[in-house]
Amino acid sequence: MVYITQVNMAVGGSGHEHIANVRYVQTGSNDTKHCSRQQMVEFLRANPGQARVRDGIGEVTVGVVEATPPYIRTYKDGRPTDNLLNLPRY
């Protein structure tokens, strides 16, 4: 399981499809790592439900939106949410 902690946005964009890179922490580790949006999409395709975002209430699951190009967004109770967009930027 990985927990996404920060997002890096493409220049000129502010929506989920503009997330260019993410920073994350893997369960059991305090090391922060980073990857591109495409790398996270590939990780989630191979490991559905294994990325999350913590919010003030609990955790929400990160999923893949199959667009062109594909991108990531959070879902709670099967409904899309904006938790990734509320994370700190880097």
Domain ranges of the chain: 2-86
Reading the block at residue 79, the tokens are 């409904």
In the three-class reduction of DSSP (H, G, I as helix; E, B as strand; rest coil), residue 19 is classed as: strand
Whole-number pLDDT of residue 1: 97
Per the model's pLDDT, the better-predicted residue between 55 and 17 turns out to be: 17
Give Cα separations from 82 to 6, 13, 72, 79 (angstroms): 13, 15, 11, 10
56 falls in which pLDDT band (50, 70, 90)? confident
First to last CA, the chain: 22
Which residues are 80's β-sheet partners?
A: 75
15-51 residue pLDDT tens: 999 999 999 999 999 899 999 999 999 999 999 999 9
d(CA 48, CA 90): 25
Give Cα separations from 11 to 8, 20, 87 (angstroms): 9, 9, 17
Reading the block at residue 46, the tokens are 């191979």
